[in-house]
Structure formats: C-alpha cells, structure tokens
Structure 1
Amino acid sequence: MSHSWLVASKIGTYLSIENNLVKLTVDCVSTGQLFAKPATSVLAYLLSKATIREEAMPLEALVCAQSGLAPMPDYSIAAITAAEDGVSVGADYWLRADPVHLVLQRDSFSLSEPCPLSVSRAHAQAMIASFNAHFAQEDGLKFCLGESGAWYVSLAQPPQIKTALPAMAMGKNIAHFMPQGSAASQWVAYLNEVQMLLHAHAANAEREGAGGVAVNSIWLSGGGVMPAPLAVKPDSDIDCMVGNTALYKGLAKHSGLMHHNISASLQSVISQMAGHTHVRMQLAQDLLLAEDSFQALLNGLKKRSITQLVVNLACYEKTLVATIKPLDLYKFWRSTKPMSAYLV
C-alpha cells in the first residue's frame, strides 16, 4: 500500500467529514431553572471545557442584535412576533403587554417569575376586553391576543417611550424599569389604570379560587413598528434558525433565513443539519431540562459533526456566552462546578 494512497485516503475521509460539519449556536431561554443544574450535569461539563464571556444584554436583545435589528429605541420584538402570531400588524406601533404578577416587597414591587404568566384563553379574552372597553375611545390603545396566547397592545403613533425587557427587571424594584421618555408619566398612568381594572376582575377571582396567582399588571416591552426585511443578510454566517416561537420565525423571515420547527428530540434535529453552515437554535423549556439534549450536543462535538458550539445562557440582564470546539474536550485539567457558580 503506497504512502500516496494513504494520504489521498485520509484527505478524502477528512473532506467527507468536513462536508457534514456545522457550527451550532444554542440559545437557552430559561433563567432560574437553567442555573439549578448540578455539577454532574452534561451542561456543567460542557461549560468546564468552554471559553466563556459575558454580554451585558438579555438573551432576547442579543438574538435581535445578531439578527440585524437595531433598537429604535426598543427592538421591534412585539411587531415581529405578532405578525407570526396571527395578528394583522399593519403600520401601527406594537408593544408586548405580558400578563405578570407583581410582588409587594418592604417598600417596592418586584416582577416575579414566570413572565409572562400562563393565562387561559377565556380569562385572557375577558381581561383584554376590559382593557379595550376602558382605553379604546379616549386613548386609542388596542389590546389583542395572539394565537400563542401572547398579549399585545397597538397604537397608531409611536408612544415616545423606551421600555425594558422583562428579564432585566425580574426580582428587582420595578420602579427602575418603568417606561422612560417624554411620555413616560402618561404610560405609567396607563399601567396604574390596568392594575385597577385587574384588581377587581372576575377572571382573577377565578384564578385565585383555583389556587393560581392573580394577574395584577402587564409588562410593556419590545416596542416598534414592523421593520422592513433586511436587504443584506446580517453580519453573520448563520443560514438557518430553528425554534418554535413566533420570535424566531419572525427573525428568520426578517433576515431572509431558512427556518425549521423543533418537532422531535434535539438529536434528530442535529442529524438534519447537514448542508447548513451555521444553525441558530432556540432550546425551549421541555428540551432545556432534559439531559439528553446536552448529551446530544456533547456527542456532536465528540464525533466532530459540530465544529463549534456556542451556548448562550440567559442570565436575566446579561447573557453568558460559552464557546466550545471539539479539541476543548481534551482539557482534562478543568473540573466541573455547579451551574450556580457561573452567576458570580
């Protein structure tokens, strides 16, 4: 067997593997549950091998920025998601109006998890009907319910406010995260009126009677009009977005990228990625808490079907970005630690 044949064989094998390799960016949308994972978890093992940096922005904002959106002054999350959520967006200005529960602290209110709250469609429709009856004639606010159950509010003109994403305010004094801008006082007044409407609402009485928490406010965020599709792809090699939420579907459309839902296990999704250069995937709650999901990512690195794995870990007002390549798995001197250690 000649030396040249062996070289040609190895090169051919390498090229065969190379054609099936892909970069994968995984967005982990959880907060508290994610960081409750122990040091024995596969995710903790992956992080022990990774290069980690911190981005001073919530995960939603990071995904929007990397998808070519610019804050004006918010990222237009509401309009993009509403358009994929069965809502006719038109030229109006849209805000998310997430149903939330505010907790009274010693001298302030804080925003509690989860946000948004899970609200039955019947209760949501009843509450939104109350808002529309109260605001529509005088103030021109129009509330609506998306197919996913998300709440939105629209108005004909930009409201002259900047809002904060809920991840930034979770568990903190909400006074620091109220709408800012020339019309801030008007919108704080709107929120006070919403809270009064909800306080005596029959739907809340039914929720509390069934052992649930009351919807005692809404959280406004993601304001903007529907942005025009990008004429030029974002400064990224991402060519496919995978995720079941309206935001990922909308961002893919806005950026001119291919989109796929996750309909089975993460392993099956990874096996279908051949042919893509760089895939961005949203790892939702059901897959996030399954060890099999992170094991599939680890297996992909070991087999080199994943050449680079970037795991974006939502950490309230910031995002931890962990980058792992196959060779990093040989850093045997790095020990694992509990996920909570990464919150420091």
Structure 2
Amino acid sequence: MRYHLVIPHSIWPDADLQTQMISDLKLPALGQMLGRGRRMPARPQSWHDWLAERFEVPGLPAAPLTLGMDHPDAEPGYWLRADPVHLHVGRDQLSLQDGHSFPISQADADGLVRALNGLFQEDGFHFVAATPQHWYLRVPQDPQLVCAPVDVVNGRNIDPFLPKGPDALNWHRALNEIQMLFYTHPVNDAREARGEPAISSVWLWGGGTWPLAHPPVLPASRILTNDVLVQALGIAARTRFDALPARVQDLPAQDAMIVLDALGTELIANDPQGWRNAWQQLEAEWFAPLLADLKAGRIDSLAFSLPETGLAVEVDPGMRWKFWQGARLPWQL
C-alpha cells in the first residue's frame, strides 16, 4: 500500500518572514522522512502548474473546471473567474485580500453582480455569482489574457499581477470602472456599517472554454482532498473523489493520493502564524502517525510532493537504518 502526500503552499510568499517563522519550527517526523528518503526528479512549480502537469490539463483553466461544480448548467462559451476581492489602500500600492478570507452573503454577491451586468451589458459580458465567493464572467470570445490566480496575488501589491495581453489596457480600464461602481454601491455601504470589508473589485483569472474539450487524466486511482480545484478536476474526469478524513486511521487501505491543503487555507487568510501552526498540526495529525505506520509495516511506502519547493521524496521502511542521514525540512533541501 502506497500513499502519495501532496503538500501545496509550503513556501510563504515573504521570504524574510518565512525565515523568522521556521527558525525554531520542530517537525521531527517529517524531517526524518525527508532526510532519509530517496530524492526524486522534481522542480519548483506553482500549485496550479503542478496540477496542470499531473492532470494533463494545459493552462489549468480554473473557470470551466469549477463551473462543473458551481454552475454545471452554464451556457457554453469562454468563461473567466471574476472573484470578489477587497483592495487595501496602502501608501503607494493596492494589496489584494481574497474573498474567501471575509464573509460574503449570497445576497451581497447577487446585488453587486446585478450592477455589473447593468454596467457591461453593451459589451456582451455576463457575470454570475454561482457562490458567494466564486463569481464568473462569460465573454463573447477568448480575450487572450494572461492572468495570475487569485491565491498567488493574495496579500500582495496587485500591480505586477494585473492581466496581460493584447487588449490588457481595456481590461485595466474595465477593472477601474468596477472599482468605481462598487465604491458607491449600497451593498458596500451596508457591509461597512456592519464592520465588514468592502468588496472593492473582482479578480479575473482561470479563463477557458466551457465545457472542456478533453477531460483531465487522473494521476491516481483514488484521491482524497478538500481542495476545491482538485475536487473540480475529479468531477471533470467523471470520477469519484473522497474528502480528506480527520485521522490517519481512517485512510483507505489502498493506494491513494492525499492532498493536505491546510497550509493553503492559512495562506488565503494571509495569516503567517496560522501557516506555522498548520505545519505543527500536520506533524501531529499526519506525519508522526504515518511514520509510525511505515515503521510498523502497515504502509509499504510513502511519497511526498511539495510543488513550490521542488521537492519529491520516496520513503520506505528501510529508511530506519539510514542513521547517517540527518533530518531535513523542506526549506533545507
């Protein structure tokens, strides 16, 4: 029995802050397995690029993928994610806060989307608030935009990540119009009166044609995950996926890919201490029990993939005899 553990978002975007957070971080079970395991070929990749490669979906068009979960009756055509965000005004920049990190009701989402559809009706744009946090935009044709995923931009200055392409300036103007529309909208007046962050704009990303021309190719016969994008890939491949169990003891007794997405949750919340705590929780609830199972022979082997660090390691029970190989953490390899 072989488990493949995939751990995205293992790098904090601010390198100096990460150095402080990991300086005294103790992860003995993970360190032992990574230090004594066999390194496999890998290179640093973003989470989205890693998924695109493993599931054989070029460009990883998140919008049509998640439409299959959020709005499966959507009209065919070219769709973008147009997710609600808060823009924090700094001294010389605007930084983005992902809509998953603050409350949004469906009523608020619907109210703002109605205003968007009124503003852009003549352009042939159609916005849909499929869920409070997942908004979509259907456009008449492929805009040939290069867009950064919202989780990559979260907590950062938006300027380097604004959409790029032959018509980029017109899209930048459209985003400015959206910001002005939202600034004076009654939905945001009510939100601010309740002490909630204003929904300042939308973030465009993940464009592609719905429905997908080709289904994803599954890299494992069974996948356990709470990651929405991985779940969407499973649905697009017309296969069953399982939610991540709370305990190692509840894992299936068969080969499986296990996506541990706790670090991404804290990254979206822009909570560095929460990210550090998530590592400690993974150590206690996953790495230590799995190491015990490996040493007891209840597992034949473990594989680790940490996309952003470019790390892939295979571990088997024979690792216990490699005393000369010391513990190593992901940032030391």
What's the TM-score once normalised by structure 2's chain length?
0.77
Indicate whether 1:325 and 2:315 are aligned.
Answer: yes
Distance 2:88 2:31 in 1: 32
Partner of 1:260: 242
Q: What is the CA-CA distance between 1:32 and the residue it aligns to? A: 4.8
User: Paired residue for 1:177, among 161, 181, 185?
Assistant: 161
Structure 1 residue matching 2:259: 3-state secondary structure:
strand
% identity of equivalent residues: 25
Amino acid at match of 1:25: L
Distance 1:140 1:282 in 2: 40
Partner of 1:24: 4
| Matched residue count | 306
From the CA coordinates, give the structure whose radius of gyration is larger: 1
Are the equivalent residues in 2 in contact too, given 1:93–1:154 (CA < 8 A)? yes
Indicate whether 1:229 and 2:209 are aligned.
Answer: no
Q: Structure 1 residues 118, 293: closer, same or farther in 2, change over 3 A?
A: farther
Partner of 2:269: none
Q: What is the CA-CA distance between 1:148 and the residue it aligns to? A: 6.9
Amino acid at match of 2:326: R
What stretches of structure 2 of length at least 5 have no aligned partner?
Answer: 267-276
What stretches of structure 1 of length at least 5 have no aligned partner?
Answer: 1-20
Structure 1 residue matching 2:76: 3-state secondary structure:
coil
Partner of 2:26: 40
Are the equivalent residues in 1 in contact too, given 2:33–2:327 (CA < 8 A)? no
Partner of 1:142: 126
CA RMSD of aligned residues (A): 3.4
Distance 2:310 2:195 in 1: 35
Structure 2 residue matching 1:163: 3-state secondary structure:
coil
Q: Structure 1 residues 269, 124: closer, same or farther in 2, change over 3 A?
A: farther
Are the equivalent residues in 1 in contact too, given 2:226–2:259 (CA < 8 A)? no
User: Paired residue for 1:334, among 313, 322, 326?
Assistant: 326
Distance 2:225 2:111 in 1: 30
Deviation sequence 1:227-256 (CA, Å, 0-9, x none): 23349x46x4x2222223442233124345
Deviates more, 1:286-295 or 1:56-65: 286-295
Partner of 1:247: 229
Q: What is the CA-CA distance between 1:61 and the residue it aligns to? A: 2.5
Are the equivalent residues in 2 in contact too, given 1:229–1:256 (CA < 8 A)? no
Partner of 1:130: 115
Q: Structure 1 residues 129, 294: closer, same or farther in 2, change over 3 A?
A: farther
Deviation sequence 1:142-178 (CA, Å, 0-9, x none): 1112247412111232122111123433444322211
User: Paired residue for 2:76, among 69, 91, 104?
Assistant: 91
Partner of 1:156: 140
Q: What is the CA-CA distance between 1:68 and the residue it aligns to? A: 0.7
Distance 1:45 1:267 in 2: 18
Deviation sequence 1:111-132 (CA, Å, 0-9, x none): 2467664422222222222212
Q: What is the CA-CA distance between 1:203 and the residue it aligns to? A: 2.5
Q: Structure 1 residues 242, 117: closer, same or farther in 2, change over 3 A?
A: same
Amino acid at match of 2:145: I
Indicate whether 1:187 and 2:171 are aligned.
Answer: yes
Structure 2 residue matching 1:204: 3-state secondary structure:
helix
Deviation sequence 1:21-53 (CA, Å, 0-9, x none): 1231323457659x6565224555655555488
Deviation sequence 1:172-196 (CA, Å, 0-9, x none): 4322211111121121111111111
Indicate whether 1:102 and 2:87 are aligned.
Answer: yes
Q: What is the CA-CA distance between 1:219 and the residue it aligns to? A: 1.2
Q: What is the CA-CA distance between 1:82 and the residue it aligns to? A: 1.3
Are the equivalent residues in 2 in contact too, given 1:39–1:45 (CA < 8 A)? no
Are the equivalent residues in 2 in contact too, given 1:25–1:309 (CA < 8 A)? yes
Partner of 2:184: 200
Distance 1:310 1:245 in 2: 17
Are the equivalent residues in 1 in contact too, given 2:103–2:196 (CA < 8 A)? no
Distance 2:314 2:132 in 1: 34
Structure 1 residue matching 2:84: 3-state secondary structure:
strand
